[in-house]
Structure 1
Amino acid sequence: MADGDRAEAASAESELEPLRFQRLWGEGYFEVPASERLGKCRSVKEFEKLNRIGEGTYGIVYRARDTVTDETVALKKVRMDNEKEGMPVSSLREITLLLELQHPNIVELKEVVVGNHLESIFLVMGYCEQDLASLLENMQTPFSEAQVKCIILQVLKGLQYLHERYIIHRDLKVSNLLMTDKGCVKIADFGLARTYGMPPQPMTPKVVTLWYRAPELLLGVTTQTTSIDMWAVGCILAELLAHKPLLPGTSEIHQIDLIVQLLGTPNENIWPGFSKLPLVSQYTLRKQPYNNLKHKFPWLSEAGLRLLNFLFMYDPKKRATAKDSLDSSYFKEKPLPCEPELMPTFPHHRNKRAASTSTGTETQAKRAKP
């Protein structure tokens, strides 16, 4: 047991200090009865921590057992290290969004539970045995094309559900895609997710892990739509097909150069407004007139190449939507997508999953080829 867990257990055993709050009206204080100390939340003491399965930017994740229902769950402790005025905004956003979402391909937030202190807050999530980044690192045999189609179809269904509700995930990558031992893929880590409206409001372009970041973000666009998620889907699809990251840039300049090498140099004809993008004058783009996707994937069918090209449209307004992609003939041709329950299982990787919510390239850098 970690020192922090021992301290928490010891604190739980000791007599709790009564909570006293100053009255808003009138003078003096009032005490909160012990029976109402946790409000409507359950106590984290009702969960048995089995093992720590990861640590990300926004908190530590444990595999745990709900002692009331005997269900295995993921227990995510909200990181409060540097917070002086309550819960981090990123965690509040994640909780608010996830409590409203119910879809087979979105990770489930079951409830919020609390420890003995006001700053001890845990999210009880549905437990998934794997994340795709760890699987890609450890699999001896890569996913077949039928299995890749099965994974991407599930991601697209989850995204369609989000996008219909005007939610942008803003951090799609293989390490944020979880998979149960039944082959069900779930989109996770909503710390950077945002709702958007029309007209779109300005947001920081410093989102999405670099390797999956759309060109409009790299060039400084601050009004974001669901198209940034769809570019990331193209990167994930290509990564699963190629068995390695498609665009493993080491800096924003390098990332743009890799995109241009692959897709050709953008211009006003294919991307109206390109020359007026905020950062375009800061880069000298190489002159590359060709789209090299076909050379990158010579074995891929015409339908598969059409889908990739549709996802990699430079102009965000012309890029494929989740619905467009679900309707692609690529998923209707052989090899047909396998059923989720026929996906391979990986018992030897179970419970070793590393949860990453970083917006950098730390997790992916381990898999980058020299």
Structure 2
Amino acid sequence: MSAAKSRWADDDPETEAIIAQRKREKEEKKRAKLEKQRQLEASKAQPPAQSADGAQGPNGESEPPKKRRRLSNDLDASDSTARVPQNDGQQGQKKRSSLLRFPVREWGTCRHVDNFERLNHIEEGSYGWVSRAKDITTGEVVALKKLKIENTPDGFPVTGLREIQTLLEARHPNVVHLREVVMGNKMDDVYLVMDFLEHDLKTLLDEMREPFLPSEIKTLLLQVVGGLEFLHSQWIMHRDLKTSNLLMNNRGEIKLADFGMARYYGDPPPKLTQLVVTLWYRSPELLLGADKYGPEIDMWSIGCIFGELLTKEPLLQGKNEVDQVSKIFALTGPPNQQIWPGFRSLPNAKSLKIPPTSASSAGNPPLLPRTRFPYLTNAGLSLLSSLLALNPAVRPTAQQCLSHAYFKEDPRPKPKEMFPTYPSKAGMEKRRRHHTPEAPKRGQEAPELDFASVFGGATVGDTGETGAGFALRLG
């Protein structure tokens, strides 16, 4: 029987020959593919012998090794030593890898405190001892603060943890820079290494013959409020702002320091301890027992610092909590429901005996007496009065304070580069201890206070009780 005829073929013998040729080529390609596959399977069964200069092919002949995917971190030795010839005859330059490397933070052991040479003691604070020291490796002068960890059976003190955490998070030109944490020979020898600044504002004000100029006050206040605005934007309250915690160098730069009482907060503010902030800079709602508060307490402290820059003396120097409330109300006037709604609900306000008053002063908050600040402009008095408002709800935020008209009127803030320099007490000898109340100690219970003698009652008597780190005299 004859072979089947293609339906595409005609009776032309030339066309039939072409079709038959294509069929033979197709069968030859198929046989070659099967043969190649058999050779590949045989090579997998036994490893081929390597030649001196390359891999052994399936036919027993040398062939170059197969290519592999090159990883980015592979470095070819031939590339690292290759030289590129130059047309002008000069020696070629060494090829460099194009791999980009980025610095990353790594966990490691802390350095030992012996890497620093202590130069002199500066001051003892509420939560540590501060010394001036020199880094032996670099020769840089730094501030070395040893944390107070003794008598802490519960482990590492939370004040130290908060200070380290907030300083690491608060990277700002007007916040002191924490470089590293170093250790001593014992577990309770923990030191914070920070930038050294020549002055603290309290010591500087005490040593100056004349107060700062109005233009200098504006520059200092803008820097302090600028650093505080950054903290508040990160939901951090300082809770111990005072002139001794403001450090200044000889270039007119001022930085916030001592974050032992700093705390994260939220909205609405959580229930917190009322025993915070050094007495002279403590807001009235804290003195009256408020346990829910926010950054308004820092703004009250800014107002106290503002007044201290104007007069060279702390604005409200109470001997105890009762005397402090008396001095606050003597400056701002007594509270009432129009000026401070709801103040009667505070725990310690129930004992206040508010004297009957005439019509309240215009404005909320009312302006402070002009006689206390005779050289302050109207805009400056308005800013100071709002910062020292009894009602925390009407105090300006740090951001609002930065845009106040006081900083835009003449005289304008002085450039930092134009600030005068002063002899450094911190760099020469031990600082003289000033008569300033200490910050409250953590864990100390707030005393129950009786403010019945604040307005027109008996004079503060001679009987005393122990308060928040100072003598509490009750009537």
Is TM-score (shorter-chain normalized) higher than 0.5?
yes
Q: Determine the structure 1 residue equivalent to 2:413.
A: 337
1:170 aligned counterpart, secondary structure: coil
The question of 1:208 aligning with 2:273 is answered no
Deviation per CA, 1:146-185, whole angstroms, max 9, x where unpaired? 1111111100000000001111100000000000111110
User: Which of 338, 342, 346 is equivalent to 1:269?
Assistant: 338
Establish whether residue 346 from structure 1 lines up as the match of residue 416 from structure 2: no
Distance 1:46 1:357, change over 3 A: farther
Deviation at 1:286, TM superposition (A): 4.7
Match of 1:160 among 216, 229, 243: 229
Q: CA deviation at 1:298?
A: 2.4
Using the alignment, how far apart are the partners of 2:236 and 2:437 within structure 1?
18
Deviation string, structure 1 residues 15-41 (Cα, Å, up to 9, x no partner): xxxxxxxxxxxxxxxxxxxxxxx9521
Residue in structure 2 matching 1:102, options 152, 171, 175:
171
Instruction: Give, as a single letter, the amino acid of the residue that structure 1 aligns with 2:171.
Output: Q
Classify 1:152/1:208 alpha carbon distance in 2 versus 1 (closer, same or farther; 3 Å): same
1:18 is matched with which residue? none
Q: Percent identity between the aligned chains?
A: 47
- Is 1:131 the counterpart of 2:200? The answer is yes
| Equivalent residue number for residue 4 of structure 2 | none
Paired amino acid for 2:407? F
Q: Is the 8 A contact 1:98 1:108 kept in 2?
A: yes
Given candidates 439, 455, 468, the residue that maps to 1:359 is: 439
Taking the aligned partners of 1:123 and 1:348, their CA distance within structure 2 comes to 21
Kindly provide the CA deviation profile for residues 256-312 of structure 1, in whole angstroms up to 9, marking residues without a partner as x: 111111111111112121121221112224556565432211221110011011111
Q: Aligned partners of 2:437, 2:119: CA distance in 1, in Å?
A: 21
Paired residue for 1:318, among 384, 394, 403? 394
Partner letter of residue 409 of structure 2? E
The answer (yes or no) to whether the contact 1:205–1:217 under 8 Å persists in 2 is yes
Kindly indicate whether residue 239 of structure 2 is the aligned counterpart of residue 170 of structure 1: yes
Measure how far apart 1:348 and its partner are. 5.0
Counterpart in 2 of 1:305? Answer: 381
Q: 239, 249, 257: which is aligned to 1:188?
A: 257
Q: CA deviation at 1:59?
A: 1.3
Counterpart of 1:12 in structure 2 is none
In 2, distance between residues paired with 1:357 and 1:72? 30
Return the TM-score normalized by structure 2. Answer: 0.65
Moved more, 147-156 or 336-345: 336-345
1:44 and 2:124 correspond: no
Letter in 2 for 1:261: A
Alignment of 1:195-274 (within 5 A): 195-274=264-343
Question: 1:146, 1:335 within 8 Å by CA — same for their partners in 2?
Answer: yes
**TM score, norm. by length of structure 1:** 0.83
Q: Which residue identity does 1:323 align to in structure 2? A: Q
Q: Distance in 2 between matches of 1:186 and 1:226?
A: 18
Quick one: structure 1 residues 230 and 135, their matched pair in 2 at CA, closer, same or farther if it must change by over 3 Å? same
CA distance in 2, matches of 1:77, 1:297: 40
Moved more, 104-113 or 242-251: 242-251
DSSP 3-state at the match of 2:347: coil
1:117 maps to 2:193: no
Match of residue 462 from structure 2: none
Distance 1:348 1:130, change over 3 A: closer
Residues 163-222 of structure 1: CA deviation (Å, up to 9, x unaligned): 011111000000000001111100110001110012211111111111111111111110
Structure 1 counterpart of 2:158, from 81, 84, 89:
89
Whether contact under 8 Å (1:176, 1:188) holds in the other structure is: yes
Q: Look at both structures and tell me which one has the larger radius of gyration over its CA atoms.
A: 2
Q: Which has the higher contact order (CA 8 A, sep 6+)?
A: 1
Q: Is the 8 A contact 1:131 1:353 kept in 2?
A: no
Q: Which runs of 5+ in 2 are unaligned?
A: 1-106, 362-366, 441-469, 471-475
Distance in 2 separating the partners of 1:176 and 1:126: 14
> Are the aligned partners of 1:253 and 1:283 in contact in 2 as well (CA < 8 Å)?
no
Matched, 1:293 2:293: no
Contact 2:216 2:414 in 1 (8 A): yes
Amino acid at match of 1:312: L
Distance change (3 Å), C-alpha of 1:83 and 1:350 = closer
For 1:179, the equivalent position in structure 2 comes to: 248
5+ long unaligned stretches in structure 1: 1-37, 366-370
Tell me, in whole angstroms, the C-alpha distance in 2 between the residues paired with 1:297 and 1:287.
Answer: 27
Residue 353 of structure 1: CA displacement?
A: 6.6
For residues 342 and 117 of structure 1, the distance between their equivalents in structure 2, rounded to whole angstroms, comes to 46
Equivalent position SS for 1:359: coil
Shift of the alpha carbon at 1:320? 0.9
Provide the C-alpha distance between the structure 2 equivalents of 1:56 and 1:298, rounded to a whole number of angstroms: 35
For 2:123, the equivalent position in structure 1 comes to 54
- Equivalent residue for 2:77? none
**Paired amino acid for 1:205:** Q
